[in-house]
Each structure stands twice: as structure tokens, then as C-alpha cells.
Structure 1
Amino acid sequence: MMDFSLIAMQLFSGIALGAILVMAALGLSIIFGMLGVVNFSHGAMFMVGAYAGLWVASLTGSFWWGLLVAPIAIGVFGMAVEFLLIRPLYGRSVDDPLLLTFGLGYVLVEAVRIIFGSDGIPFPTPTHLRGVVNLGIGYFPIYRLFVIGVVGAILLTLWLLLEKTKFGLIVRAGARDPQIMRVLGVDIGKVWLLVFGLGVGLTALGGVLAAPMRTVNPEMGSLVLAEAFVVTVIGGMGSLAGSVVAGLVVGIAVSMTSLIAPEMAQIVMFALMALILLIRPQGLFGKSGAHA
């Protein structure tokens, strides 16, 4: 019989993993939900965010500068991608931006490989976030608790932005009927630009947060892209609440499975996705027949 403290600590590990999955899926969900664009360069943006955070931290000697600067810089890069590459494809087949971002992902991976090499680079955990803390049921890494706290703060801020501000109202209305928003005099192109930048910035932030727990390498985005799509599909395409719930569920499922049957840990998320699709094809929080 398993010890209760072991199960409890594994559950906490699942929540920490789920927090990273939530960050990975949020950007994908926001961009699809608001713009209807399936961003296949999502995993590459996550990877570029990790490298940008590592580079800034190495230049400044501070993890905090990397955590702050990298998401903003990659978010601005995402805005440039939307304006220069994706915007001309609006109104055309949904396959066009999908194929474009698919190719962009490969370009980013190869560019990073040329600049930084193919070998993985460790991202050291900040000194004051190293070690473990006693939670009463066992010892848990301080950095993972930090990640859970940061993701919680980001989710609260994002909810307030989208639900309690004029910008959030415009974003939600624009997702439902952009034509009406244009008639009302709203520059919907500017809104989409900001939304795409926000989605990419959140993805890059997830990359920086995950970097100390994973080796930073050019291929790290491939698994993240698969994980993000699994979480997004389970939660419901375009549903932010669905991304949060599904990310935590998948993280806990993977963590608990690795305790019971480690060889099945990487399969359980795909099995869970298949089960959800059979029972509820639109996902847990998705709307049937709608993309948002």
C-alpha cells in the first residue's frame, strides 16, 4: 500500500506540471478563440521564449530580468508575425495560416540551432528558489511552488483583463462578430494584433518558467506543441477556462500515472484526449459548432 505522503506529493507534482501545461495551452487557446488561427509555430515560440530567457539571464546575471524581458520581446515578435505574415491571409482558407505557421515553426527551430547549437543548455534555478520546503505532508521543491504561484497570478490577471476591462469586452465581442465591431468604429486589426502578441507572450513566459525544470534545446517545442493541443482539445478549442481545467487534469493524470505505471505516463494524456473526444467531441468547455 502506498504511503499517503507519497501520493500527496505526487499530486502536488501533477499540479506543478499542470501549471506549465496551462501556460503552454493558454496562448494557443487565446489565438484560436479570438482570431480563429491555429498557430502551429506555438511550440517553437515556447522554445524561443526559453532561449530568450536564458540569454537575457546570462547577460544580466538575473533570472528575474529573463522572466520579465523574454515574454515581452517574444510577444512583440509575435505581433510582427501577425502583421507581416498572418494578416494578409485573413479571409482565405483556414489551411493557409496553419501551413504558414507550420513552416515558421521549422524556420525558428533551425535558426535557434544555428545560433545556439543543437546541444541542450541547462537553465540554472535561481539561488533563492532552490531547495525544498516542508508542506506538512512532505518536502516539495520551492521552484515548483513558485511556478504554481506565478501561473495562478497570470490567470487572475488575464481573467480581470478579459472580463473587467473595456479591452476585454472589445476582444470578446470581436471574436463573436468582427464585422459589427468594424461598423461601430473599432479597429479590429489592432485588437487582433494585440491578442496575437498576448498569446505568443504567454507562450514565451511558459517557456521561461519551464526552462529550469527542462533542458533548453531546439527540439523542446515539439513535445510542448503536442501537449498544448491535447490540453486545448480536451478543454475545448478556444475556451480559456477549458485550457486551465484540462491542463491541471492532464498534469495530475500524467504525474499519478508515472507513480503507478511509469511506462504509461506519456500515453495517458492522449488516451484521455481520445476518451473525451468520444464522449464530448467539442471538449469539456467547448461549444458545438463554434470555434470560440
Structure 2
Amino acid sequence: MMIGPYPLDLLALQLVTGVALGAIYVLVGIGLSLIFGLMTIVNFAHGAFFMAGAYVGVFLYGYTGNFWVSLVAAPLAVGALGLLVERLLVRRLYGRGIDDPLLLTFGLSYVIVESVRILFGLTGIPFGAPPALRGAVDIGIGYFPLYRLFLIVFTALVVAALWLFVERTSFGLIIRAGARDRQIVQVLGIDVSKVWLVVFALGCGLAGLAGILAAPLQGVTPEMGIPVLAEAFVVTVVGGMGSLAGAVLAGLLVGIVVAMTSLIAPDMTKMAIFALMALVLLVRPRGLLGRAGALG
């Protein structure tokens, strides 16, 4: 069966490819939404943390020869870096308006990128999928890369775990309450600074996890976080600033739009992402699932 010049099974495979690509956007977008939703910080270093996760993962994989070790250790290492950044730099700017943290993280992104260039060089590093996840499997509509299927399943598990953490734990309750009214949380005697520290590290760690997962798809370069940063902001805005569910929905939607546009009109892929954002904002100015002062 054909739809225009394209066979139906090709379109279906491209749709699944978009979901796999969207899985990366989901992880990056959730991290950005967590940080903005609770801390009202526009983290312009998010793409640099994404790139750092890829480089840490590649380094650890080369050192240990074990992809699963690097998959666990890379986001932990980037999360630890996020802890230091929040504690030593970002915390000093609380209460000084949104512009100061924005400028700080913008400059920090350049520092991280230049540090990686000094340590690892200017050229990219090829990084393939681990042997256990190579090849393709028949999914009924055709053969599909096994690694991309792993991306979809693994991201779904991470999102489910994060949802349980936010919705079913006392710390998650504090996060949701702080996103709605941080002054009430402070009045109740909760040390909000510790909550912000954990949330910033968690958001950075998710960006690092997305980086190591994206490495087999696109290779590893110092500049790999630049386009991802723009796409992450699109995901956050389309889903609704501070909405985790919105970030998941928007990440998958952006991934599908990118995949389908790259098939039909490759030169218009980037424009299609921003056209989607403009269309959503015209209909719903707060994004698909965004609401004022909400994280959820």
C-alpha cells in the first residue's frame, strides 16, 4: 500500500525511528524542565552536560570495555558535576533575577566545551552500539535496528522510575510543592537549598544519560550539544515550561516530526521543529500540558 510516493511500511518504520529519536529528546527535555520548573533557571549549559555525558561514557567504555558500566557511570559523573556547579556557582545567584543564572550557564557551556576540546581534541570520536545491541530485528513492519528499540524501552523505564520518584516519594512531594509555591515549602521548615541541589544534579544527570545514549547514533564531538540545546528548549516550550508529562509528550512529538520531515523534505527538518513550536504556542501559549507554576 502506498501513501503518495512512499510505501506504508516505510512510513511506519520512519515513525518508529521518530519515537526512538524522541526518546533522546524526552530525557534532555525532562532534565531541562526539572531545573526550570523548580528553580526557574534557564540552563544554557544543558547541551554541554549532554556532550559531557557522551565523552565520559566513551572514556569509560574504552577503559572498562563494558557499555553497561559506562551507561550507569556517565550520568552519575555528570550529575556529580551538576552538584558542584549548583553548589559553587548557581547558588550564589539565587534571588538575583533570571538573567544572571542564564548568563552564568551560557558562559559555563563554553568552559565545558573548551575543556573537552583540550582533553580529547577537536575531532570527533566514533562510538558504535555495543555488540549485544547491534543488528536489526523484525518488528512486523520490517527490520528495525536493535539499538533504537533498546532506546525506546530503556527511556520508558527511566521515565517510569522518575514518575514514581516524583509522584510516590516524600522528596518528590517536596519537589512538586516547591514548583508550585516555594515560599510555603520554606515556611514549613524544609531546607529548599538541598532540594534545589538534588534537582539540578538530577537534571544534569539526565542530560548526561541522553548524551551517552545518543553517542552510538551520531558519534561524539565537542559541538554535539549545540543543536540538542535548541531542540531541548523546543521540547520544554512545546510541552509546557516545568511540565514533566509535557516534556515526554513533546519529546516524542518532536522526534516524530524530525524523522518524518527528514524523509519527506530533509532540507526543512530544522524549520519543521520551530514551526511545530510556533503552531503549538499559537493554540496553547503555555504549551501542551503547561500551567502557571506547575511541575507535573
CA RMSD of aligned residues (A): 1.1
* 1:211 aligned onto 2:211: no
Tell me which residue corresponds to 2:118: 114
Amino acid of the structure 2 residue aligned with 1:10: Q
Q: 1:162 aligns with which of 156, 166, 184?
A: 166
| C-alpha distance after superposition, 1:188-237 (max 9, x if no partner) | 11111011111000110000000000110000000000010011111111
Indicate the SS of the match to 1:186: coil
| C-alpha distance after superposition, 1:96-118 (max 9, x if no partner) | 00000000000000000111011
Alignment check: 8 A CA contact 2:176 2:294 kept: no
How far apart are 1:123 and its partner, in Å? 1.1
Q: 2:74 aligns with which of 70, 77, 93?
A: 70
| C-alpha distance after superposition, 1:2-22 (max 9, x if no partner) | 212111101110100111111
Amino acid of the structure 2 residue aligned with 1:165: T
Amino acid of the structure 2 residue aligned with 1:170: I
Write the distance in 2 (CA, Å) between the matches of 1:243 and 1:144: 20
Write the distance in 1 (CA, Å) between the matches of 2:35 and 2:168: 20
Indicate the SS of the match to 1:112: helix
* 1:3 aligned onto 2:7: yes
Write the distance in 1 (CA, Å) between the matches of 2:265 and 2:189: 57
Alignment check: 8 A CA contact 1:32 1:291 kept: no
Tell me which residue corresponds to 2:190: 186
Write the distance in 2 (CA, Å) between the matches of 1:8 and 1:152: 20
Write the distance in 2 (CA, Å) between the matches of 1:113 and 1:266: 26
> Map of 1:88-107 to 2, 5 A cutoff?
88-107=92-111
Write the distance in 2 (CA, Å) between the matches of 1:270 and 1:177: 31
Tell me which residue corresponds to 1:41: 45
Write the distance in 2 (CA, Å) between the matches of 1:120 and 1:190: 37
Write the distance in 2 (CA, Å) between the matches of 1:146 and 1:262: 26
Indicate the SS of the match to 2:275: helix
Indicate the SS of the match to 1:83: helix
Q: Could you say if the C-alpha distance between residues 167 and 291 of structure 1 is closer, same or farther in structure 2, counting changes exceeding 3 Å? A: closer
Write the distance in 2 (CA, Å) between the matches of 1:21 and 1:105: 19
Tell me which residue corresponds to 2:254: 250
Indicate the SS of the match to 2:89: helix
How far apart are 1:291 and its partner, in Å? 6.7
| C-alpha distance after superposition, 1:160-187 (max 9, x if no partner) | 0000111101111122222222222211
Indicate the SS of the match to 2:47: helix
* 1:281 aligned onto 2:281: no
Indicate the SS of the match to 1:266: helix
Tell me which residue corresponds to 1:221: 225
Q: Which runs of 5+ in 1 are unaligned?
A: none
Structure 1-normalised TM-score? 0.97
Indicate the SS of the match to 2:141: coil
Amino acid of the structure 2 residue aligned with 1:209: L
Write the distance in 1 (CA, Å) between the matches of 2:130 and 2:120: 22
* 1:270 aligned onto 2:274: yes
Quick one: percent identity of the two aligned structures?
61
Alignment check: 8 A CA contact 1:36 1:291 kept: no
Amino acid of the structure 1 residue aligned with 2:92: P
Tell me which residue corresponds to 1:21: 25
Indicate the SS of the match to 2:270: coil
How far apart are 1:282 and its partner, in Å? 1.2
Q: 2:240 aligns with which of 233, 236, 240?
A: 236
Alignment check: 8 A CA contact 1:29 1:232 kept: yes
Alignment check: 8 A CA contact 2:239 2:290 kept: yes
Alignment check: 8 A CA contact 2:180 2:294 kept: no
How far apart are 1:124 and its partner, in Å? 1.9
| C-alpha distance after superposition, 1:225-258 (max 9, x if no partner) | 0010011111111111111101111111111112
Q: Which runs of 5+ in 2 are unaligned?
A: none
Write the distance in 1 (CA, Å) between the matches of 2:27 and 2:262: 21
Indicate the SS of the match to 2:278: helix
* Number of aligned residue pairs: 291
Tell me which residue corresponds to 1:79: 83
